Amino acid sequence: MNSDMVFDNIDLTKEPPTAEPLRQYYFIARCRRWAETFEQENGRCPTYFVQTFGCQMNARDSEKLAGILEQAGYVPGENEQADFVIYNTCTVRENANNKVYGRLGTLAGYKKQNPRMKIALCGCMMQEAGVVERIRKDYRCVDLVFGTHNSYRFAELLSSCQQSDSMIVDIWKDAGGIVEDLPVKRKYPFKSGVNIMFGCNNFCSYCIVPYVRGRERSREPEEILREIEGLVNDGVCEIMLLGQNVNSYGKNLKNPMTFAELLREADQVEGLKRIRFMTSHPKDLSDDLIEAIRDCGKVCHHLHLPLQSGSSRILEKMNRRYTKEQYLSLVEKLRDAVPDIAITTDLIVGFPGETDEDFAETMDVVKKAEYDSAFTFIYSKRTGTPAASMKEQVPPEVVKERFDVLLKEVQRISAQKAARLEGKTLPVLVEEINRQDAALVSGRLENNSVVHFSGTADMIGNIYPVVLEECRGFYYLGRLAAHA
Query: Using an 8 Å Cβ cutoff, are 204 and 321 in contact?
Result: no
**Does the pTM exceed 0.85?**
yes
C-alpha dist (Å) from residue 256 to 243, 262, 293, 460: 16, 11, 20, 38
- pLDDT of the residue at 482: 83
Query: Using an 8 Å Cβ cutoff, are 421 and 468 in contact?
Result: yes
Query: Using an 8 Å Cβ cutoff, are 21 and 182 in contact?
Result: yes
Cα distance between residue 95 and residue 287, in whole Å: 37
Q: What is the tally of helices (H) and strands (E) in the chain? A: 14, 19
Cα distance between residue 438 and residue 188, in whole Å: 19
Q: Is 233 helix (H, G, I), strand (E, B) or coil?
A: helix
Encode the chain (484 residues) as per-residue pLDDT tens digits. 456 657 888 999 999 999 999 999 999 999 999 999 999 999 999 999 999 998 888 899 999 999 999 999 999 999 999 999 999 998 877 778 889 999 999 999 999 999 999 999 999 999 988 999 999 999 999 999 999 999 999 999 999 999 999 999 999 988 777 888 899 999 999 999 999 999 999 999 999 888 888 889 999 999 999 999 999 999 999 999 999 999 999 998 999 999 999 999 999 999 999 999 999 999 999 999 999 999 999 999 999 999 999 999 999 999 999 999 999 999 999 999 999 999 999 999 999 999 999 999 999 999 999 999 999 999 988 888 999 999 899 999 999 999 999 999 999 999 999 999 999 999 999 999 999 999 999 999 999 999 999 999 999 999 999 999 999 988 999 999 987 6
Cα distance between residue 264 and residue 130, in whole Å: 43
Looking at residue 219, the DSSP 8-state letter turns out to be: P
Pairing mode, if any, of strands 47-52 and 75-76?
parallel
Query: Using an 8 Å Cβ cutoff, are 197 and 244 in contact?
Result: yes
Largest Cα span, the chain: 70
- pLDDT of the residue at 178: 83
The secondary structure element, H or E, covering residue 357 is helix 356-369
DSSP assignments along 391-419, one per residue: S-PPPHHHHHHHHHHHHHHHHHHHHHHHH
The secondary structure element, H or E, covering residue 223 is helix 221-233
- Terminal CA-CA length for the chain: 35
- pLDDT of the residue at 210: 87
